[in-house]
Amino acid sequence: MHYNVSFFKDVLSSDGHAFKCVQRVIAVDADSPNEAINAAKQQFEHHCSNYSIGDWRLYAEAVECAIKLRPLRRMPKATQHSVTRTEQTEKAS
């Protein structure tokens, strides 16, 4: 499965309200959400180490994992026309 793993940091806005700010989103192929999170954490740790950040949790406080859906393929035009004709025929009956 394809997953998007997002890393967030809680920050304060200029008016003092807290909100979650996305620090990084990493696309991962894995068998489960837990495997996706672990793989993304390793990539994020490597990213943070490039900026001399020892612990990724200093840069992000929360992690979310979501299934990455692929866009649906469009049907061929011939199939689209036949579906449209069928719908019109059923409405006329």
Q: Which residues of the chain have pLDDT under 70?
A: 70-93
Per-residue pLDDT at 61? 87
Domain boundaries, the chain: 2-92
CB 60 within 8 A of CB 11: no
Per-residue pLDDT at 79? 46
Write down the H helix ranges in 7-50.
Answer: 33-50
Tell me how far CA of residue 36 lies from CA of 12, 54, 93, in angstroms.
29, 22, 52
Per-residue pLDDT at 80? 44
Residue that is written with structure tokens 């809680």 in the block: 10
CA 72 to CA 74: how far, in whole Å? 6
CA 13 to CA 72: how far, in whole Å? 38
What is the model's pTM? 0.66
